[in-house]
Amino acid sequence: MFHVEPIADFDDPRLAPYRNLRAQHDQPGGGIFVAEGEKVVRRLLESPHGVVSVLAPPAWQAQYETLLAARPEDVPLFVAPKAVLGQLTGFVIFQGVMALGRVPAPSTIDSLLDLPRPRLFAAVDAVVNSVNVGLVLRNAVAMGVQALVVGETSAHPYLRRSVRSCMGTVFKVPYHLSADLVANIHGLRAAGIRCLAAHPHADRRLLPEADLAGDCCIVLGSEGEGIRPAVLEACDEQVAIPMQSGVDSLNVGNASAVFFYEAWRQRAGGFPGSRIPV
């Protein structure tokens, strides 16, 4: 269900939640997140997550009517000129489509352990840049990672820039907000899940030599500081991506794509040249 509400003024009180989202840095405010752009808003409307409202210019109204009509809740569709939308974002935007959704409750570790085997999880430690968390999420969903464990020093996956950089793929993967990543890693290992730390030093095991075909969790750290020592110590082993020309590390988003692809490749057959079913 939905109903249309025209808006002409940036200061309209109905836009207050959108205006306030610009000030969020650490946590989604009031359990609400923002989706920006045509594809991200569409993925939100197609997801089971609660939708608070949609904001779009008049030209986009017809694009969403079918999806909005299929929603179980009555969603306000705010229709506003692009000039108003540009004031909200702080820059001139092409599509001018936004929506507010309700942040889903984080999963427990026990519920993640109920996912189908072989289980493939990812964990982020000290990844404070929400864009990078979003990149990890997008790669995770693309390569079949089943869940994300968010360390206590990492950015929330439903922050504005994370949702935007992952193109809304966060809506498709459960996440756990860790209060103690070291304890979580010990718990995963006790449940039979090998925890592999992505580490740049070449004296560790190289990625093509690592066994990613069984139950495992790939632990990723920030580009600057990497994985914290206590988290490294908690993992089963440290694994490096082989690189040339004196390059010793990649951005965590790029590194995650390499690790997740190798896990997917091994699970598809594991031999060089094997095709991955799509």
Summarize pLDDT for 214-253 with one digit per residue, the tens: 999 999 998 788 999 999 999 999 999 988 877 778 899 9
Provide the residue type at 148 as one letter: L
Name the CATH superfamily housing domain 2-102: Ribosomal protein L30/S12 (3.30.1330.30)
pLDDT the model gives residue 127: 97
Q: Where are the domains of the chain?
A: 2-102, 109-268
Q: Between β-strands 147-150 and 120-125, what pairing exists: parallel, antiparallel or unpaired? A: parallel
pLDDT the model gives residue 239: 95
Cβ–Cβ < 8 Å for 123, 181: yes
Cβ–Cβ < 8 Å for 227, 125: yes
Q: In sequence order, what are the residues at sequence separation of 6 or more whose Cβ sits closer than 8 angstroms to the Cβ of residue 236?
A: 189, 194, 195, 196
DSSP-assigned letter for residue 151:
-
pLDDT the model gives residue 273: 43
Residues of the chain with pLDDT under 70: 21-27, 89-95, 202-203, 270-278
pLDDT the model gives residue 23: 60
Cross-strand bridge partners of residue 27:
none
pLDDT the model gives residue 272: 44
Q: What kind of fold does domain 109-268 have according to CATH? A: Alpha/beta knot (3.40.1280)
Q: How far is CA 197 from the centre of its chain?
A: 19
- Residue 155's nearest CA partner among 146, 145, 165 is 165
pLDDT the model gives residue 34: 92
Q: Do 2-102 and 109-268 fold alike per CATH?
A: no
Query: What is the model's pTM?
Result: 0.91
Cβ–Cβ < 8 Å for 75, 53: yes
pLDDT the model gives residue 92: 53
Cβ–Cβ < 8 Å for 227, 126: yes
Q: Position of tokens 């109920």? A: 114
Backbone angles phi, psi at 146, to 5 degrees: -90, -20
